[in-house]
Amino acid sequence: MKEIEPTIQSINEIIYEEDLSHIVDELIGITFKDLNRGNEENVRKQHILDYINYNKIIFQEIYNWLLNHQNNSNSIYLLGYFNYNGIEININIQKAFELYQKASDLKNIVAQLDFANMCIHEMGNENNHNEAFKLSKTLAEKNNPNAVNKLGYCYDHGIGTSIDKEKAFELYQKAADLGNLRGMNNLGRCYENGSGTEINMQKAFELYEKSADSGNSYALNNLGCCYDSGIGTFINKQKAFELFLMAANLGNDIAQYNIALMYEKGEGIEKDLNKAIYWYGKSAAQGDPDAQSKLCKLLEE
């Protein structure tokens, strides 16, 4: 057989393939860190986009590479992530679910975390709830912050198990101690409502504030509610408005409703029905039924 010397083209292809493999692994690392920190979906997506743009990778090229390398759990998961977020392809939740499940079966931890999340919130049925609880419990036993918080949520809402508010509280506390922003916010909610523990408005305020300082939109909204109603602090309508606006701009539908309500009533700010309609519309577009009702009423008037 005649030995074929490597050409410049074949060498570049090898280097290119190795570089993309490294990029995929880096993206998985970024996602894993975001999940454990409790960052929200829009923040996670932006981190992925920023990394790809910073490394000057063409989205179509990495998408094609993922399609052609479905023998690796990281590539399988990331292709699912592209489908879930509509990166270089139309959003396809069912396809994302199937790819997450496939990578999860291969023991990919990032895939297991997102697959469990989909089983709870988007593909909710008894079998999926049971699977979410099982995965969360297994990973929580390894002190994974995201899984600890998720397991707390399962106990809190009876996902794949019986409702146990005290157990949920313990797990939220552990997730918060591990630095999970969602765990902090959930723990604050427990203290505010006396769920699984005694009511402690001061602790609720402090936890919301700590989570909000790191940009969690739910904590920002909850902290706004604290200032709006005097929960663990003095009433400060202007501060409440500022926090609601920050959370609303991050896409939080509850905060969008709250800021629309302030504009409608003119509480702490000048009354402005046009801005109220705008923010009710933002919230309604995300499916908030109260915002949809308010929007219809204001438009009729």
At the second CATH level, the architecture of 14-123 is: Alpha Horseshoe (1.25)
Report pLDDT for 215.
87
Q: What is the DSSP string of 78-147?
A: HHHHHHHHTSSS---HHHHHHHHHHHHHTT-HHHHHHHHHHHHHTS-SHHHHHHHHHHHHHHHTTT-HHH
Token look-up 């990495």 returns 62
Query: Rounded to an integer, what distance in angstroms lies between the CA atom of residue 151 and that of residue 131?
Result: 12
Query: Rounded to an integer, what distance in angstroms lies between the CA atom of residue 108 and that of residue 70?
Result: 13
Report pLDDT for 18.
55
Cβ(244)–Cβ(237) below 8 Å: no
Cβ(77)–Cβ(103) below 8 Å: yes
Report pLDDT for 5.
45
User: Comparing 14-123 with 217-300, is the CATH topology the same?
Assistant: yes
Report pLDDT for 62.
94
Residue 71: exposure state from Cβ atoms within 10 A (0-12, 13-18, ≥19)? exposed
Q: Is 13 strand, coil or helix?
A: helix
Give residue limits of the domains in the chain.
Answer: 14-123, 217-300
Report pLDDT for 19.
67
Q: Which CATH code of 3.40.50.2300, 3.40.630.10, 1.25.40.10, 1.10.150.530 fits the domain covering 217-300?
A: 1.25.40.10
DSSP 8-state code for residue 158: T
User: Mean pLDDT for each consecutive 10-residue tract of the chain (301 residues)?
Assistant: 41 50 94 95 93 92 93 95 94 96 96 96 88 96 97 96 97 96 96 96 96 92 94 93 94 93 88 92 91 88 78
Query: Rounded to an integer, what distance in angstroms lies between the CA atom of residue 28 and that of residue 289?
Result: 36
| Tens digits of residue pLDDT in 204-251 | 999 999 999 988 999 999 999 999 999 999 999 999 999 999 999 999
The distance from CA 166 to its chain's CA centroid, rounded to whole angstroms, is 24
Structure tokens at 100: 């997450």
Cα–Cα nearest to 108, from 34, 32, 172, 167: 32
